[in-house]
Amino acid sequence: MTSQNPIFIPGPTNIPEELRKAVDMPTIDHRSPVFGRMLHPALEGVKKVLKTDQAQVFLFPSTGTGGWETALTNTLSPGDKVLAARNGMFSHRWIDMCQRHRLDVTHIEVPWGEGIPAARFEEILTADKGHEIRVVLATHNETATGVKSDIAAIRRALDAARHPALLFVDGVSSIGSMDFRMDEWGVDIAVTGSQKGFMLPPGLAIVAFSPKAMAAVETAKLPRTFFDIRDMATGYARNGYPYTPPVGLINGLNAACERILSEGLENVFARHHRIAGGIRAAVDAWGLKLCAARPDLYSDTVSAIRVPDGFDANRIVSHALETYDMAFGTGLGEVAGKVFRIGHLGSLTDAMALSGLAVAEMVMVDLGLPVRLGSGVAAAQEHYRQSTVSALRKAA
Ligand SMILES: Cc1ncc(COP(=O)(O)O)c(C=O)c1O
C-alpha cells in the first residue's frame, strides 16, 4: 500500500498527523519526572473520555485482548461464574478467554446481527439467588456485525435482579467514538485499545477499574504478573511503570485525549453518527442490507454489509485493495464471506467517507453486482448536505 487513501477497516483507524508526530518522539528517561508529566494527564484524559470520576485507569503495552485478560485475571478466581452473550466474533473470543482461564461461563447464543438480550440476563440473574455469578460481560459494539448493545439496559437488568455481579464492558470499538458513560451505567471495568477511537497505532490496552472492581482485586486468585494492576498502580504513584513503558504511545494518548476533548465529546459522537448515517443511506441505495437486524442496533463506528447469497464478500475486499488501493474489512467467523465491513470511526470526515463509498461502488460494479455507480454516493451526499445545512441553521 503506497496510497494516501483513508483506511476503512474498523480499526486500526486513520492516524491524524498531529498524533503521528506525538507518538514519534525522541527517547526520554522513563524513570524521570518528565514521564510522569506525560502519564498523568493521559490517565486523566481517558477518564474524561470514559465519563468517569471514580475509576482508575491503567495503560498496558498490549491491545484490547490484553485488556480483557487484565479485567479477568485481576478480579476472578478459577471456577468463578461469568455470564455473557455470544453475538459476534469479539464476544466469542472473550468467552473463549474466560474458558481458557477455567472460569465457568454461562453464555447465551444470540443470532449474529442481534444485540445482547438484557431481559434474558435479568431472568438468569434473578434466578441466581445465591449470587454465584461474579461478572457479567458485555461487548458494547460488536465489530464483527456492526451491532451496538444497550449497556444502560444491562445495568438496569442487574439492578432489577438486585444482583451484585460486576459489569465488564468491552468498548474497544465504541469508546472515543460513541457515547460511553462508565459511572452512569455502573460499568465496573471498561476495556479499550489505542488503535480505534483514540486514532493511534495499536499497542496500548486501556483499562479502567471502578472502586468495586478494585476491591475484587484483593481476593482474585487467577495468576497474573505482567497485567497485575497492583504493580501498575504502585508504578504510577512513583511516576513510572513496573517495566519499560511505551512512552511514545502514552504521549500520543495524551494528545489524542486533548484532540477528542477539544472537539468536544458530544461533537465527536455526533460526527460519528452523521458519517454512519451517510454510509447507511448508501447501503440502502445499493439495495443491500446491514447485518445489524434493526436500526436501534446500528453501530456508528462500523457497518457490516450483507452481499447477495452466493456471492463471496471477500472478493469486494480483495478487489478494492488490489485495484483501487483501498482497505475495507472482511467478514469474520459466522459471517465470513457473507458481509464486508466499512469502518467509519476515528479521524474521518464526510468527504473521506464519500471517497470510500465511491470506491466500494466501483468495486461492486466491477464484480457484476447490481449496483449503479453514484447511487450510494448520492444518497450519502444528500445525507451529509442536509445534516450540515441543518446544523448550520441551528447555529445561526
Ligand atoms: C469489540 C472488540 N473487542 C476486542 C477486540 C480485540 O482487540 P485487539 O485486536 O486490540 O486485541 C477488537 C478488535 O478489533 C474489537 O473490535
Note the CATH number of domain 265-395: 3.90.1150.10
Return the ∠ at Cα 98 (arms to 93 and 104), rounded to 5°. 130
- Which residue matches cell numbers 445561526? 396
Domain boundaries, the chain: 17-262, 265-395
Say how far apart CA 36 and CA 42 lie, in whole Å: 10
CA nearest neighbour of 12 among 200, 275, 214: 200
Residue 1: its pLDDT value, please? 53
Greatest Cα pair distance in the chain: 62
Q: In angstroms, what is the span from residue 144 Cα to ligand 1's centroid?
A: 10
pLDDT single digits (tens) 66-86: 999 999 999 999 999 999 999
Note the CATH number of domain 17-262: 3.40.640.10
Whether residue 90 has its Cβ less than 6 Å from ligand 1:
yes
Computed over every residue of the chain, the mean pLDDT equals 97
pLDDT single digits (tens) 351-371: 999 999 999 999 999 999 999
Residue 29, pLDDT > 60, answer yes
CA nearest neighbour of 355 among 388, 322, 328, 386: 328
Q: What is the pTM of this model?
A: 0.97
Whether residue 88 has its Cβ less than 6 Å from ligand 1:
no
The pLDDT of 119-140, averaged and rounded, is: 98
Q: In angstroms, what is the span from residue 90 Cα to ligand 1's centroid?
A: 7
Whether residue 173 has its Cβ less than 6 Å from ligand 1:
yes
Residue 199, pLDDT > 80, answer yes
